[in-house]
Chains A and B, each alone.
Chain A
Amino acid sequence: MTIEEFSFANFIKSVLWLAFWILTVVSLIGIPILFILLFYVEPPEIAGMKITPYLLLTMITNPQVGAPLIRATLESDFFKVAVFPGFGFASIFATLLIFTERKLLAKMQIRVGPHYAGKEALWWIRQFGGFPQLIADLLKLIGKEIIIPASADKIIFLAAPVTMVVASAGLVSLIPVGENWVVADIDVGLLVIFALLGFFPLTALLGSWASNSKYPFIGGLRALHQLVSYEIPLFLSILGVVILAGTLNLTGVVNAQSDIWFLFLLPIGAFIFFITALAELERIPFDIPEAESEIVAGWLTEYSGMAYGLIQLANYVKLYALAAIFVTLFMGGWSGPTIFDSIYIFDSLVFSGEELSSFLWFSIKTFGVAVLMILPRGINPRIRMDILLRTGWAKLIAISFINIFIAVALIYTGVV
């Protein structure tokens, strides 16, 4: 049907026919099949209630019955891992960070940045015109072919991006977003963070070696060199926090900062952690493994399509994770004054006021730190490998020992 033949009556008629057929098919075939299936399946139990079809039907007439289910779902493991505070939250945060980065850099560079995509749909928020550009980019990456070099090691080549996403999700799972709001609240959280951070350059090396190409190979070796230069100061800077907090548990670290943030007690440690986090993220000025003008795209050279997209996703999730770790270690994590009222639905609790406030404070602090991590890209050129090695070994390690001495002195004098 072309535009000329279009008539409103026909349109209504076709919609009604469609509704009629859907209703017929669902009531005659769908509902009987559903009931037959439910007869054999054991209903799950949430918040002391068996989720039976009968219960779901009663919820239509009496919604009060289902209200406790909301809180129970929010506290379930699946929700925590997949949505909040797990990977879904991190991905959305990362998307926001990508948009912020593009707009912020554009402002610094006398440009407009993404502007046209969705300009009409989002006319009421002018600053966010261009936000759908990210969706367009994602669709483009999904639509592209993943080209695997002829002599590449296929399995390792494709495993590297997936491993990166998994490792960055592992980082996310350790971060407490509020009191008891953490996916994995383990006693040796900081040790796991050390282990995961050391894992990323190995992924880069594996991916680059599997590409069987010269530029990626150089990029992978550079990633390892970079690891050697920043990892020790990174760990030493966290050691100061561990000495003051007396625990490796991240929730414990946050609770230890109830009086004063460690940022004010250990400013040197915070500085070193910030610098080395930039190096870990391979962001400018430390994007040596991806140096575009020297080695094409470094270890990413042979990656295309969604394989490349996954690596970028992992990078931005990692940016969120490291900003969040900085907030947890030095800026008191989620702590902050309570400004919200609790949310109740039919007298059963959904979110308490403390929880909502802690989410807000955590998000604001993390976003601020992440923006600070983005900013150096606008004003700095790329640093050279030997300069980074010299800085890492000769300067950062030295002052991170000073940081540890300060931490010990604070304990000894009884300030903390």
Chain B
Amino acid sequence: MSDIERLNSMLPNSLSVEESREKGILTLSVGPQHPGSGHFRLIIKVDGDIIVDAEPDPGYVHRGEEKMCEYRNFMQNIPHLERPVIADSCSILYPYCLAIEELLNIEAPRRAKFIRVIMSEINKMIFELYWLGIYGIFLGHSTMFMWPMADRELLIDLAELASGARVTHAYFVPGGVRNDLPDIFKDRAVRQLKYFRNRLNEYSKVFYENPLFIDRTKGVGILSREDAINLGVTGPVLRGSNVPYDIRKVEPYDVYDELNFDVKYMKDGDCFARAYVPYLEMYESVDLILQALEKMPDGPVRAKLPPNPKGKVGEVFKRVEAGRGELAYYVISDGTQKPYRVKLSVPSFRAIPAMRKLLIGARLADMPAIYWGLNYWPVEADR
């Protein structure tokens, strides 16, 4: 049995047109022009308030990132590869840089590795705050949108201080990072992160302990441990379903093995767990950055490279933990200046089977919570 057949066998059968007409079922096209969908369509059939069928329909923002990679050389690929997830732009470049470094046979300097960890964690928090804000809007909680968006500015300021750009940094390059951190970075980062940690404590009181928030999310859209593993979800969704799996621990890259952190996970597998895991991870990210700032040595930040390097013949597979889960690159080089094939394996795309699984049988009002709780980012899934 092939993988796709196995996946299909796990999902419920969809309804035929005649069947839905007989039962008086209403078909809703949620998206692509819907306040709660993004560049994505979800064809939903509702029987009263209960969703009886859900058909995810991605592909509205397909840009051909993988094909574009084949026409550019290793360095030129950097700016366009981060476009799919501008809210988490360092994490999507990270595995690319790791893969190309292996193909070009170079190693990033030690200081650059620490800087990459710092920037990657800052970007992860930027993404998680953005995600939390939209989650608030999806539940009708306007303050839950405004607070994370306002606190996100602190971290964006930090990233801007390091790279010069607010969202699309193009900061990671094969062989290190583009430029060194400015001198004031460390002081400012420590100050802002301490303030940010205090703000996080308030989030718990205002958002997560709110009885209505708990009513809306606890016990909604339960993804069991077996289903989570079999459907192939990653990241906070997987960790919310009682699987403590984190690429940073399982397959440490750069200097993650030298830093202390816990893999946060929850046992329930419901929407609340999926919303709470990123919140707990933000505390870990703050700790990781503070540790990395302490341990960071002086030295160069970028390995020397010829102007237009040629890769060795071969293939390489690298993966990192991004804000939404496991992000992997598979790069084949045929010995020229350009990659022969670049394959992105993005976490958002893996959420689609789980989305169908969870939506069927849920209430229409729970649709936004389940959809956004799965960490689905339409632009990234379409690539």
Contact = CB atoms under 8 A, between A and B. Distances in A.
B34 A296 contact: yes
A293 B143 CA distance: 15
A44 B368 CA distance: 63
Interface string B108-130: 00000000000000000000000
Contacts, number: 83
A284 interface: yes
A292 B367 CA distance: 12
A293 B141 contact: no
Contacts of B61: none
Contacts of B136: 381
B210 A380 contact: yes
B296 interface: no
Given A214-B28, A293-B368, A384-B366, A285 B212 contact: yes
B140 A292 contact: yes
Interface in A301-330: none
Contact of B206 (A218, A284, A379, A383): A379
B150 interface: yes
Given A109-B142, A380-B141, A385 B365 contact: yes
Interface in A369-390: 377-387
Contacts of B365: 288, 291, 294, 382, 384-385
Given A105-B142, A214-B28, A293-B368, A381 B34 contact: no
A384 B366 CA distance: 8
A108 interface: yes
Given A214-B28, A293-B138, A109 B364 contact: no
Nearest to B220: A384
A355 interface: no
B146 interface: yes
Given A378-B143, A380-B141, A380-B212, A385 B36 contact: no
B363 A292 contact: no
A110 interface: yes
A109 B210 CA distance: 16
B36 A293 contact: yes
A111 B367 CA distance: 29
**Most chain A beta-carbon contacts within 10 A, residue among B136, B141, B363:** B141
Contact of B213 (A292, A381, A386): A381
Contacts of B144: 381
Nearest to A380: B212
Contact of B143 (A285, A379, A382, A385): A379
B216 interface: yes
B368 A109 contact: no
B86 interface: no
Contact of A296 (B35, B139, B212): B35
A381 B139 contact: yes
Interface string B358-377: 00000111111000000000
B368 A379 contact: no
Nearest to B137: A293
A231 interface: no
Contacts of A108: 143
A110 B138 contact: no
B26 interface: yes
Contacts of B150: 109-111
A287 interface: yes
Interface in B203-231: 206, 210, 212-213, 215-216
Interface in B17-54: 26, 28, 34-36, 46, 49
Interface string A273-305: 000000000001101100111111000000000
Interface in A196-221: 214-215, 218
B147 interface: yes
Given A287-B140, A294-B365, A379-B206, A111 B146 contact: yes
A296 B363 CA distance: 16
Prevailing SS type, chain A contact patch: helix
Contacts of B363: 384-386
A385 B363 CA distance: 9
B146 A383 contact: no
Nearest to A382: B140
Interface in A84-141: 105, 108-111
Contacts of A294: 36, 364-365, 367-368
Interface in B340-383: 363-368
Contacts of B139: 293, 381-382
B134 to A, nearest CB: 9
Interface in A163-199: none
A94 B140 CA distance: 23
A222 to B, nearest CB: 9
A292 B34 CA distance: 9
Contacts of A377: 142
Contacts of B213: 381
Given A109-B147, A293-B368, A380-B141, A214 B35 contact: no
B374 to A, nearest CB: 15
Interface in B41-93: 46, 49
Contacts of A378: 142-143
A69 B140 CA distance: 52
Contacts of B367: 294
Contacts of B34: 296
A381 B147 CA distance: 14
Contacts of A287: 140
Nearest to B207: A381
A384 B220 CA distance: 11
A109 B136 CA distance: 13
A219 B147 CA distance: 29
B233 to A, nearest CB: 22
A384 B146 contact: no
Interface string A378-408: 1111111111000000000000000000000
Interface in B128-176: 136-144, 146-147, 150
A214 B26 contact: yes
Nearest to B36: A293
Contacts of A291: 140, 365
Interface in A25-70: none
A47 B358 CA distance: 74
Contacts of A386: 49, 363
A380 B140 CA distance: 8
Given A109-B147, A293-B138, 16 more contacts: A110-B147, A110-B150, A111-B146, A284-B140, A284-B142, A287-B140, A291-B365, A292-B36, A292-B137, A293-B137, A294-B364, A294-B365, A380-B141, A382-B139, A382-B141, A384-B216
Interface of B: 26, 28, 34-36, 46, 49, 136-144, 146-147, 150, 206, 210, 212-213, 215-216, 363-368
23 contacts: A108-B143, A109-B143, A110-B150, A215-B28, A284-B142, A287-B140, A288-B365, A292-B35, A293-B35, A293-B36, A293-B138, A293-B139, A295-B364, A379-B143, A381-B140, A382-B139, A382-B216, A382-B365, A384-B363, A384-B365, A384-B366, A386-B49, A387-B216
Closest 4 CB pairs of A and B: A382-B140, A109-B146, A293-B36, A381-B139
